[in-house]
A and B are shown apart, each in its own frame.
Chain A
Amino acid sequence: MNLLKISWSNLKDKKSASTLSILLLSLGIGLISLLLLLNRQLDSQFKKNIKGIDMVVGAKGSPLQLILSSIYQIDSPTGNVKLDEVNSLRSNPFVKTVIPLSMGDSYRGFRIVGTTEEYPAHFEAMVKTGDLFSEVLEVTVGSKVAESAGLSIGDTFESSHGLDGAGDTHGDNKYVVKGVFEQSGTVIDQLILTGIESIWAIHDHPEEEHTHDDNEAAHHHGEDEEHSHDEHDHHHEETAKEVTSALITFRNPMGLIALPRQINENTNMQAALPSIEINRLFSLLGVGIDTLKAIALIIIIIAGISVFISLYNSLKERKYEMALMLSMGATRLRLFLLLLSEGLILAVIGFLTGIVLSRIGMYFFNLAAEKDYHYSMANFSVLPEELTLLAGALLLGILAALIPSLSIYRINISRTLAED
């Protein structure tokens, strides 16, 4: 027999009230914890993949779309730009590296990205088995691609047009797998990388064979009417090599100030800064997250009121019980702690079920995210903020139980026992 056993029995004795309190509390805690988890996952996924990329250049359009498609590989590309234009940036004194990207095809929903060896090098992706692509139509695949699509060294596959895996296949040219990357936790995991020439080779056939989908802006030829600056060499236009976008890193931060403006005003390309666009995206998401947080807080407050009412009501019923225990030798402090611990037990159970609920929610969210975007968000470890949440839940339990518990000090033993 001890205080906790008695409070536990009391809670079990009024199951419906206890269940309601726990349910409300776990809902509120679960919602907040889920938001925290999502926030951490999105934050780390977005931050990890920016990783030193200072600027992205691509066809004019939405800068956010350019960032999402070129860095995170989750949106359609904005269009194509001339490789010459991209390469001319290399001579700019602010620019350190230029990594061209060419996209538009996929295999089983995984994007095929034509690039140079600088791209995997930038993300520090190591080749686990085999080699990096070198010849035309050779690919090195990310760890998740190898696992999900079952690709291993020596396998050949046909790419399909478009990014959703529903387009026509390029039957005449087959890619061959040269190697598999080690898992890096970056976007590379879900990509099939090849030399930029492979993309050109695949699409280097008469235009009429193509039956483009609407979303394949990437392979439409660029807006030629504006193509009239630097090189007035118009017959070159037909064979001008194109890429989708390029990732740029700067030699020094001054580039951030000078280059984007210069590119946006003087070329056919647009320059987008990942840090700014992602901040913009997060501030848009932030409104929704703040609303959900407010709702969760309200639910938690209602949970506190529910604990309070449940204890307060039961105390009225249990007044005689309390007087009886006092007459049997219990001190008022002991009974005060007994009632307080009932509030605390509810808080702890509510917190634990809330944390479990948020993990279950995250599990389903992760399933959806992996299916649609190939991003894995499966990190279920406890966040430091959740310890704050625990402290908050305990405080709530104490506050809700405090007033009912204090009334122990007002019980008149004799009068209570004498009344019937």
Chain B
Amino acid sequence: MISCKNLQYSYPSQTSVPARILNFPDFTCENDETLLILGNSGRGKTTLLHLIGLILKPQSGTIVIDHQEVQQLSPQELTAVRAAKIGIIYQRPHFVNALNVLENLLLANYLASKKENREHAEFLAEQLGFQDHLNKKPHQLSLGEQQRVSIARSLINTPSLLLADEPTSSLDDENCSRVIDLLKKQSGKIGASLVVVTHDQRLKNEFSNQITL
């Protein structure tokens, strides 16, 4: 479960760029629910995702994750909460290139200080349809396959909040609907809140809860 109130973030002024203040609408996304945040480029979509993903700290406002207010936490505690409770899918799939697909999944276990769960990784790979690629390097996979691997990686620690930043923008229509279906299905399975941030109009009809920036 995630809920935010009065979130404000300001980019500090730089030599040629004046300070820019972003205010975000309040929203709540309960467990087992989905939320689509639509907005065109430059509206602070990624900034919002980084705020609720605890990567950035807001100037003001409150964020509640699983009934826990997080603005008072230290950076170490924030990292721990993020690793344990939040799964993030980035716009372009990125991996540790030296490791193979399976190792990239297990890396998420390791970095979150959880026990490596090979069966779970293999189970997710099967669910998401890349079980034949586990021993390949990520860059040997197609973009659609890579995105499915990053979905598996975001799921592997069974988070209570799934965040997706433009998960479909680089995919064709077929892969787009497949990825979204998988996201909804998988987050439903573990009872997580799914928040998707995008400008991709193809997703408009896929989500009942929507806000626009």
Contact = CB atoms under 8 A, between A and B. Distances in A.
Contacts of A376: none
A22 B120 CA distance: 38
Contact of A324 (B47, B50, B96, B116): B96
Given A327-B88, A328-B111, A329-B113, A9 B106 contact: no
B43 interface: no
A213 to B, nearest CB: 67
Contact of B99 (A6, A327, A418): A6
A414 interface: yes
B65 interface: no
> Which has the most chain B C-beta neighbours within 10 Å: A1, A330, A413?
A1
Nearest to B100: A9
Interface string A1-29: 11000100110110000000000000000
Contact of B98 (A12, A324, A327): A12
Given A1-B106, A1-B116, A328-B108, A9 B79 contact: no
A325 B111 contact: yes
B98 A9 contact: yes
B114 to A, nearest CB: 9
B123 interface: no
A87 interface: no
Given A325-B111, A418-B50, A331 B76 contact: yes
A6 B110 CA distance: 11
B103 A327 contact: no
Given A1-B103, A9-B103, A414-B55, A325 B96 contact: yes
B111 A329 contact: yes
A401 to B, nearest CB: 16
A205 to B, nearest CB: 81
Contacts of A6: 96, 98-99, 107
A329 B110 CA distance: 9
A328 B83 contact: yes
Q: How large is the interface on A (under 10, 10 to 19, 20 to 34, 35 or more residues)?
A: 20 to 34
Contact of B83 (A2, A321, A324, A329): A329
A417 interface: yes
A324 B108 CA distance: 10
Nearest to A2: B110
27 contacts: A1-B103, A1-B107, A1-B109, A1-B116, A2-B110, A6-B96, A6-B98, A6-B99, A9-B96, A9-B99, A10-B98, A13-B98, A320-B94, A321-B97, A324-B95, A325-B107, A327-B55, A328-B83, A328-B107, A328-B108, A328-B111, A328-B112, A329-B80, A329-B83, A413-B55, A414-B50, A418-B50
Top 6 nearest A-B pairs by Cβ distance? A329-B83, A13-B98, A1-B110, A9-B98, A329-B111, A10-B98
A327 B106 CA distance: 15
A9 B110 CA distance: 15
Interface in B72-97: 76, 79-80, 82-84, 88, 90-92, 94-97
A420 interface: yes
Given A13-B97, A321-B96, A329-B111, 4 more contacts: A6-B96, A321-B97, A330-B111, A331-B79
A289 B76 CA distance: 54
Contacts of B56: 414
Contacts of A10: 98
